[in-house]
Amino acid sequence: MSHRNASRRTLLTATAVAATALAAPSAAHAAGSGDRGRDRKLRELISRMSLEEKVGQLFVMHVYGHSATEPDQADIDSNLKELGVRTAAEAVAKYHLGGIIYFGWAHNTRAPHQIADLSNGLQRAALTPDAPEQSPTARIPLLISTDQEHGAVARVGVPATLLPGAMALGAAGSRSTARKAARIAGTELRALGIRQNYAPVADVNVNPANPVIAVRSFGSDPEAVAGLVAAQVKGYQGADIASTSKHFPGHGDTKDDSHSKLPYIHHTREQWETLDAPPFRAAVEAGIDSIMTAHIVVPALDPAEDPATLSRPILTGILREELGYDGVVVTDSLGMQGVRTKYGDDRVPVLALKAGVDQLLNPPKPEIAWNAVLQAVREGELTEERLDESILRVLRLKAKLDLFSDPYVSSRGVDRAVGTRAHLAAADRIADETTTLLLNKDGLLPLSRRTRRKVLVVGADPASPSGTTGPPTTVLGRELTDLGFSPTVLPTGTAPSAAKIAEAVAAAAGQDAVLVGTYNVGAGSAQIALVEALVATGVPVVAVAIRNPYDVARLPSVGASLAAYCWTDVELRAAARVVAGRVEPRGKLPVPVQRADDPGQVLYPVGYGLTY
C-alpha cells in the first residue's frame, strides 16, 4: 500500500469521522442549509478535542523552511527564535495548528515540486503526530494558505503561471476573463497543496494616494469591482480553492499603510454602503469561503474606534448579522502595526475572537498569542462554546475542500497543472486585454521595425515580485528583441542620479525611440527629470507606467504613454507587444487619472483608453 493511501487511512481512522459525512459536503456555509449530517460529525469531533487542540485550530502561522522536517540551518535558527521549535512539523505539533501560511521570505516557495513536498510533509505532521500524548482527535488536516493575488503580490513565482493583477483585470473589464484567471490560479495552487488563497482584493481604490492597495484593487467603481470580485470567487470555487475577499470593511480610501500605521477612514455610513460595501456583498452572495479583516478604524461603523479586526460592531454586527455571512473570518496578519497600536500582542487575539474572528493569522509572538487565548478561556473571558463556533466554521471549510478525505498532492499533479503551456498562453492572452494607451501624439505608436528599429530601454527597477525573471528594463528589452527590434537596455532606477540621467541622454544618441519604464512618479521625482532630459534630445519617448497608472499626469511631454499596471513579466510582455503593434491596446482605465496641478480635475476618466 502506498504511503499516501496509508496516510489517508490513518486520517480517517484517527478522526473517527465517517467518510460519507465529509466527502461530499454542501457548498452552503450555514448549518441550517448545509449538510446536517456533516455538521453533526464535526461537532462530535470538536467535543472530543482538548482545549489546547481547540485553541490551535484557530491559528494560522508561518513557519520557516523549504521542508517540513529537514530545513536549512538558518531556518532552524529562525524557527527556534520565533516558534520555539526546530522544524515546521514540530510547530504543527506544539501548537496543534489549524493552518499554515506560505511566504517566499520564509523559504516556503522555492519551486513547485518543493512546495508540494512541503505541503505533504506538513499534512503528515498534522495527521500522523509522533507524540504519544496527542489524542487521535488531534489528527485534523491543515488548511494551507498564501497571498497569491497576482500582479504586485504573489508568493509563488515562476515557473508557476503568473497572471495580470487586479487593476489590470479591471482594465480588461471582463468578468469572464477575471473568472478564467482565478480558475487558472486556483488550479495551480491546489496542485501545490495550497487550498486557501487570500484573494481577491475587494477594496475599492478611490484614493490615488493609497500606499497599500492601489493596483491590488480592481478599480474605483464599486459596481465594477463587485462584479469582478464575484467572478473571481466563482473561478476559485471551480478550482476547488477557498478564496478570501479582503480587507473588510474596505481599505480603499486611505493614505496610510496598515502595515506600519493604524489608518482612519472617515466615510459616513451612507458612503460606506455606496462605496465600500458592494464588493463584499457580492462576495457573500457568490458564496465566498472566507473574508479577511482590515486593521483600519472606521468611526462611522464603530464609534469606539477600534481596528475593524477587533470590532464586534463591524465583524458581528455588520458582517455577520447585516450581510448574513456565516463563513470563515480571518484576520489580516496580526504582526501588522495597524492592529498592534492600541493593544498588546497578548490582547489582540482574544479581542479578535470576541469580535467574531475565526482564524488568527500570523501573530508576531506565537507562543504569547496562543497562551493568551488559552488563558482567556480558562479565566472565563472566552467560553469554549465561542471557540467551538469558530472551529466548526473552519472544519466545515476543510470538509468542503475534501481535506479530510484527500489532503495530499502528487508530483504528477504538479506536472499536469503548474506552469503548463496552456496556462502560460492563457495568461498572455489575458494580459493582451489589459494594457491601456493613454497618450499617443502624432501616432507615435505602434513603433515600426523599419523606421524605429533601434530602441533605448531605460527606467525604474523596483524590487522584483515573484512574477519576474529580471528587472523591468531587461524583460522589456528581451521581449522587444523577440519582436524584431534592436534594443539597448540601461536601468536607471526609481530615483536616477544626475550622472545616470546624463548616461541615459548620451545613450539616446542615434536611437530611433526611447522606452521609459516609470514607477509611481510623484511630485519632484527624479524620474521626471530623466524623462524631460530624454524628451529634450528630440528622440521620441514612450513612457510605460509599470505600477500605478497615474504617472502620465506628471509626464505630459512624452510622445506616448501606456499603463501596464505592474512590472511582472506577463504584463511587461503585453506592453511590449502593444508598443510593437503586435496587439491592439484594449485596456480601459479602471480608475480616474487626475491632473497633477489640480487634483480636483480629472485628466483621464474611468473607461478612457485609446486604440490604434
Taking the C-alpha atoms of residue 399 and residue 376, their distance in angstroms, rounded to an integer, is 28
Q: Which amino acid is at 246?
A: K
Query: Catalytic site residue 107?
Result: no
Taking the C-alpha atoms of residue 70 and residue 503, their distance in angstroms, rounded to an integer, is 48
Taking the C-alpha atoms of residue 449 and residue 582, their distance in angstroms, rounded to an integer, is 11
Taking the C-alpha atoms of residue 69 and residue 549, their distance in angstroms, rounded to an integer, is 45
Taking the C-alpha atoms of residue 561 and residue 539, their distance in angstroms, rounded to an integer, is 15
**Cα distances (angstroms) measured from residue 474 to each of 85, 211, 565:** 42, 26, 17
Q: Exactly one of 35, 147, 326, 332 is catalytic; which is it?
A: 332
Set of cell numbers at residue 478: 528581451
Q: Give the residue from 330, 312, 331 showing the smallest Cα distance to 322.
A: 312
Set of cell numbers at residue 278: 458592494
Residue pair 394/143 in contact by the 8 Å Cβ criterion: yes
Q: Give the residue from 301, 296, 339, 294 showing the smallest Cα distance to 318.
A: 301
Taking the C-alpha atoms of residue 82 and residue 62, their distance in angstroms, rounded to an integer, is 10
Set of cell numbers at residue 358: 475565526
Cα 346 off chain centre by: 27
**Cα distances (angstroms) measured from residue 278 to each of 224, 273, 557, 561:** 9, 7, 39, 32
Set of cell numbers at residue 224: 465594477
Query: Catalytic site residue 346?
Result: no
Q: Give the residue from 497, 439, 485, 443 showing the smallest Cα distance to 580.
A: 485
DSSP states of 104-144: TTTT--SSHHHHHHHHHHHHHHHHS---TTS-GGG----EE
The 3 state secondary structure assigned to 290-326 is EEEECCCECCCCCCCCCCHHHCHHHHHHHHHHHCCCC
Q: Does residue 54 sit in helix, strand or coil?
A: helix
The 3 state secondary structure assigned to 578-603 is HHCCCCCCCCCCCCCEECCCCCCCEE
Q: Exactly one of 240, 256, 259, 388 is catalytic; which is it?
A: 259
Taking the C-alpha atoms of residue 439 and residue 543, their distance in angstroms, rounded to an integer, is 9
DSSP H or E run through 244:
strand 242-248
Q: Give the residue from 349, 464, 482 showing the smallest Cα distance to 428.
A: 482
DSSP 445: P
DSSP 516: E
Residue pair 533/558 in contact by the 8 Å Cβ criterion: no
Q: What are phi and psi of 89, to 5 degrees?
A: -60, -40
Q: Cα dihedral sign for 321, 326, 332, 333?
A: positive
Catalytic residues: 259, 332
